[in-house]
Amino acid sequence: MIRVEDLHKHFGGFHAVDGASLSIEKGSITGLIGPNGAGKTTLFNVIAGVLPPTSGRVIMEGADITGLPPHALFQKGLLRTFQIAHEFHTMTCRENLMMVPPRQSGENLWSAWFERGKVRLEEEEIRRRADEVLEFLTIDHIADEKAGMISGGQKKLLELGRTMMTDARVVFLDEVGAGVNRTLLNTIADAIVRLNQERGYTFVVIEHDMDFIGRICDPVICMAEGKVLAEGTLDEIKANEAVIEAYLGT
């Protein structure tokens, strides 16, 4: 679904991504691991159009998407989740979901509504969709809570919910588990797996919690010093000499 070819991202003389090449299979939940400073987040930001690459290419389903801005990637169904911005903290969870614009192409629920001859989606329909998303993520009980008041794990679920409002196709999730308790982490893992299996989402997940990675990700890609070191199942990665050395060296 996504192919990254010899990607470089330099900050001045520093090579944060230094010739990374990798493929993301359609329908996979791919884990991206590696020691701090390996270049994982920078790689995400370049793929998602947040940062321009220094060189290299990103291909999505055969089309060159290198350097496309986030809104153009959004139209293609490629999304990177972001923490809920401060401005949205005073809005409720439902309102946060209702703010997400629909993608206007592709075969999704929104286009089905468009095909029914509606020029604009009615607010009621968007609300129904938001409630459906909250229910899917098992956070319907916080629909009317202000987004600034919910827990870190619930915020992560709401970020996932925002991708569902657009019927995303490939979602990049950064540090899903940071500061999230075990129970909610399990809920997040379940939601990712269900979105993958029931709705065909492809995921790329950066996460430090190896239990989480081992439970839902296959394959796992390990980066260090801006390059891809190894790819395989988590067990294969854990047994890889270069990977062990990269982690011990930090």
Q: How far is CA 110 from the centre of its chain?
A: 21
What is the SS3 assignment for 167?
Answer: coil
14 lines the binding site for ligand ADP (CB under 6 A) = yes
166 Cβ contact partners less than 8 Å away, ≥ 6 residues apart? 74, 77, 79, 100, 101, 102, 103, 108, 110
Q: Which stretch binds ligand ADP (CB under 6 A): 9-17, 94-102, 193-201, 210-218?
A: 9-17
Closest distance between ligand ADP and the C-beta of residue 33, in Å?
A: 9
The CA-atom distances, in angstroms, between 220 and each of 15, 156, 214, 223 are 23, 21, 8, 10
Closest distance between ligand ADP and the C-beta of residue 164, in Å?
A: 25
Cβ closer to ligand ADP: 37 or 70? 37
Cβ closer to ligand ADP: 42 or 187? 42
Cβ-in-10-Å burial (0-12, 13-18, 19+) of 64 comes to exposed
Choice from 1, 4, 7, 16 touching ligand ADP (CB under 6 A): 16
What is the SS3 assignment for 28?
Answer: coil
Cβ closer to ligand ADP: 41 or 81? 41
Which amino acid belongs to residue 92?
T
11 lines the binding site for ligand ADP (CB under 6 A) = yes
Site string for ligand ADP, 26-55 (x = CB under 6 A): --------x-xxxxxxx-------------
Q: Is 136 left (phi over 0), alpha (psi -120 to 50) or beta?
A: alpha
Cβ closer to ligand ADP: 39 or 219? 39
For residue 92, the 8-state DSSP code is B
Cβ closer to ligand ADP: 13 or 117? 13
Residues that bind ligand ADP (CB under 6 A): 11, 14, 16, 34, 36-42
